[in-house]
Amino acid sequence: MTFAMTSEVDDAHPSHAKKAELTSAYSAALHIGESCLADGPVGRVGLEVEAHCFDLADPMRRPEWEELKDAIAGVPPLPGGSAITVEPGGAVELSGPPMDEPVAAIAAMTADRAVLRSAFAQAGLGLVLLGADPLRPAKRVNPGDRYKAMEEFFIASDTGDPGAAMMTSTASIQVNLDAGPRDGWAARVRLAHALGPTMIAIAANSPLLAGQFTGWASTRQLVWSRLDSARCGPILSVNGDDPASEWARYAMKAPVMLVHPTPEMDAVPITDWVPFADWADGRVLLGGRRPTQDDLDYHLTTLFPPVRPRRWLEIRYLDSLPDAVWPAVVFTLVTLLDDPAAADIAAEATEAVATAWDRAAQIGLGDRRLHEAAILCVRTAAERAPAELEESMLQLVRSVEKGRCPADDFSDRAVKYGIDTAIAQMAQGEM
């Protein structure tokens, strides 16, 4: 089994190679439950890092699609093997191949980011690692038909503003991990969720959006919380004893967002609330037909929970982070999930704050219980960190112990210099 790295709102089309229509929601749910997690050992790590792209001469201007394509065309081969994609608002994403352990994945991504950053600088563009665009209003520049249809879907569902902000003004670091042995799936997926609030508090890095302080340390999480919880909320119920079945139920209840009537046609938004189960059972026909297996697989790419099963686990709740600390944050998260002794410590440390998603996003480490959990988690990881990550881990531990997250550092910079100057400095590599 291999990871297949995709962007957060992947622009793939269903192949329609499998023409047979699904016979029922039950059969569709069975397929999801049987295929969403892969039995095997843990250890491999894949990383995806998104960065906002700014014009070095005019940070308020959002680079256009052709400029971004030209800049990417000028990037030499990346030593770590990452793929380059462009998000709807022009954020540039590196999606790295899976590596056998976290240090290798971090090293490969660090090398690829250095090459990408240099090539973009030569094109007059800078890449800034923040969870939300602090300066520019939302605007789509990627002309992909999927993104246009998504805009229409969000507008029709009365979430046009947060939908536009999610698509064009947020950025993350995604960590992809093996699902692990079957008999450990429930505990592993529960822990991946339970770690969410604590890791959000540690990694919050988006205090501003479109030129305004929002009052949230992670405005990225605020934006996502304003979208449909049936599509973007956590997948687990109270006990989380069977994550595969819970993901199947989640997917069947989630409304269909987009449909490709034929392989040649662009994506069409579904502006009525149609749970996929209703389409699969034939209660509603979309495009004049019931769904195929390809439609089901495509539907799953339009669901954005904070932890998403894709045979492996996509951990999707981290803001995009500065180069100085993201390696330590990634290593911390991987260690707390993959190291059995560290996982036991993390499960106990985060139990009291396992559902404090909004509180973590709003006040970060200002919450006493989240702060205590965060200190224990980063210290546990630091004890296991190799020499290559010592500097990054020390900086992360010091910040967490002081109750500071990256949002605090950026807020200080924005207040001192002004938002546009702060962004210009960061885009030019000044930290």
Among 80, 112, 110, smallest CA distance to 98 is for 80
% of residues, the chain, pLDDT over 90: 90
- pLDDT of 12 reads 56
* pLDDT above 70: residue 102: yes
- pLDDT of 431 reads 62
Rounded CA gap, 107 and 45, in Å?
Answer: 12
Q: Which two tokens stand for residue 271?
A: 């502006």
More confident residue, 6 or 236: 236
Q: Please, which pLDDT band fits residue 132 given cuts at 50, 70 and 90?
A: very high
* pLDDT above 50: residue 2: no
DSSP assignments along 152-213, one per residue:
HHHHHTT-HHHHHHHHHHB-EEEEEE----GGGHHHHHHHHHHHHHHHHHHH--B-EETTEE
Residue 211: left (phi > 0), alpha (psi -120 to 50), or beta?
left
Give per-residue pLDDT as tens, 344-354: 999 999 999 99
CB atoms within 10 A of CB 265: 12
* pLDDT above 90: residue 381: yes
Rounded CA gap, 100 and 38, in Å?
Answer: 16
- pLDDT of 236 reads 83
- pLDDT of 10 reads 52
More confident residue, 324 or 264: 324
* pLDDT above 80: residue 6: no
Q: Hey, is 367 helix, strand or coil?
A: coil
Rounded CA gap, 190 and 310, in Å?
Answer: 16
Give per-residue pLDDT as tens, 197-234: 999 999 999 999 999 999 999 999 999 999 998 999 99
- pLDDT of 338 reads 98
Q: Which two tokens stand for residue 2?
A: 């291999």
- pLDDT of 15 reads 54
What does the angle CA 399 – CA 234 – CA 408 come to, to the nearest 5 degrees? 20
* pLDDT above 70: residue 13: no
Q: Mention every residue, 6+ apart, whose C-beta is less than 8 A from residue 135.
A: 59, 60, 208, 210, 211, 419, 420, 423
What does the angle CA 225 – CA 127 – CA 301 come to, to the nearest 5 degrees? 40
As a whole number, the mean pLDDT across the chain is 93
Antiparallel, parallel or unpaired: β 92-95 and 208-209 = unpaired
Q: Please, which pLDDT band fits residue 162 given cuts at 50, 70 and 90?
A: very high
Rounded CA gap, 274 and 331, in Å?
Answer: 40
> Burial of 74 by CB count in 10 Å (0-12 exposed, 13-18 middle, 19+ buried)?
exposed
Per-residue b/e over 153-171, b at no fewer than 16 CB within 10 Å? bbeebebeebbbbbbbbbb
- pLDDT of 14 reads 56
Domains of the chain in start order, with CATH, are 25-409 (3.30.590.20)
The arithmetic mean of pLDDT across residues 249-265, rounded, is: 89
* pLDDT above 60: residue 8: no
**Residue 17 CA: distances (Å) to CA of 262, 276, 295:** 11, 20, 11
- pTM of structure: 0.94
Among 378, 335, 372, smallest CA distance to 352 is for 372
The arithmetic mean of pLDDT across residues 292-311, rounded, is: 96
The arithmetic mean of pLDDT across residues 412-431, rounded, is: 92
Question: For 147, phi and psi rounded to 5 degrees?
Answer: -70, -40
Rounded CA gap, 226 and 84, in Å?
Answer: 29
The arithmetic mean of pLDDT across residues 351-358, rounded, is: 96
Q: Please, which pLDDT band fits residue 152 given cuts at 50, 70 and 90?
A: very high
Give per-residue pLDDT as tens, 55-92: 999 999 999 999 999 999 999 999 999 999 999 999 99
